């Protein structure tokens, strides 16, 4: 049994235990009974707090997303008057974090057996993930004078978020090179020459 973290809410303790178990043994090894043992509660309490395993998977992915979005928040706060620099900083920070992220690698490599329910949360069923990420970016961008209509701005935000997510899932260059390319693309949209 892992030492309890009394300062954390029960839901957060369960989600963190699931993430730890997923990184160590894979998603297929995560069961509500094992989580209950690790957290020190009954299996029914885990179900009452989280729901079933699909809800646990989504909670785990959204919890990790919050860590990524804190990096986005910091990049936009560091460059409040330069949207292109903020996009480049946010993209680079997210890609660097993804590169070293054990949980993300466990999710992406979960491609057989019972593990297949994790990957769609980042790919085909990623609407909640995309929605949250787009909302965070939109919060910073909508106050900028971009010269774009709201509809155009929504398309631009969607494009940037999807391109970054695509490179998180399947990197093709270093985080710095990819972020520079995303910033170049954003600059062409925001500052057409």
- What whole-number percentage of the chain has pLDDT above 90? 46
Q: What is the pTM of this model?
A: 0.78
pLDDT score of 93: 95
Alpha helices in the chain (DSSP H): 10-25, 32-39, 43-50, 53-78, 83-99, 102-108, 119-122, 127-141, 150-169, 175-190
pLDDT in tens, 111-158: 444 455 565 555 555 566 778 888 988 988 887 888 889 999 999 999
* Domain spans, the chain: 79-190
pLDDT, tens only, 78-109? 999 899 999 999 999 999 998 888 887 776 66
Report whether 107 contacts 119 (CB < 8 A): yes
| Mean pLDDT of the 156-180 span | 91
What's residue 160's pLDDT?
Answer: 92
Tracing tokens 């989580």 back to the chain, one arrives at 35
Choose the weakest-confidence range: 38-42, 67-71, 80-84, 118-122: 118-122
Report the alpha-carbon distance of residue 158 to residue 131 in Å, rounded: 9
Given this model, what pLDDT does residue 37 score?
96
The number of C-alpha atoms within 13 Å of 144 and in the hemisphere containing its C-beta is 21
Q: How confident is the model at residue 29 (pLDDT cuts 50, 70, 90)?
A: confident
Task: Identify the residue with better confidence: 30 or 130.
Answer: 30
Residues 6+ apart with CB under 8 A from 192: none
User: Residues 16-43, buried b or exposed e (16+ Cβ, 10 A)?
Assistant: bbbbbbbbeebbeebebebbbbbbebee
Whole-angstrom CA distances from 128 to 25, 125, 135 are 26, 8, 10
């Amino acid at each position: 049994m892992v030492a309890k973290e009394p300062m954390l809410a029960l839901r957060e303790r369960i989600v963190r235990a699931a993430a730890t178990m997923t990184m160590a043994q894979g998603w297929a090894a995560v069961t509500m009974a094992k989580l209950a043992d690790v957290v020190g509660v009954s299996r029914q309490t885990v179900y009452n707090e989280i729901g079933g395993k699909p809800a646990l998977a989504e909670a785990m992915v959204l919890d990790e997303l919050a860590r990524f979005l804190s990096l986005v928040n910091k990049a936009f706060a560091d460059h409040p008057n330069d949207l292109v620099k903020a996009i480049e900083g946010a993209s680079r920070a997210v890609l660097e974090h993804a590169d070293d992220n054990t949980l993300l690698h466990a999710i992406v490599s979960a491609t057989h057996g019972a593990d297949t329910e994790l990957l769609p949360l980042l790919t085909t069923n990623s609407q909640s993930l995309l929605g949250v990420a787009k909302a965070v970016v939109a919060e910073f961008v909508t106050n900028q004078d971009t010269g774009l209509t709201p509809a155009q701005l929504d398309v631009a935000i969607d494009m940037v978020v999807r391109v970054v997510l695509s490179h998180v899932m399947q990197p093709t260059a270093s985080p710095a090179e990819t972020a520079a390319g995303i910033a170049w693309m954003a600059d062409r949209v925001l500052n057409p020459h």
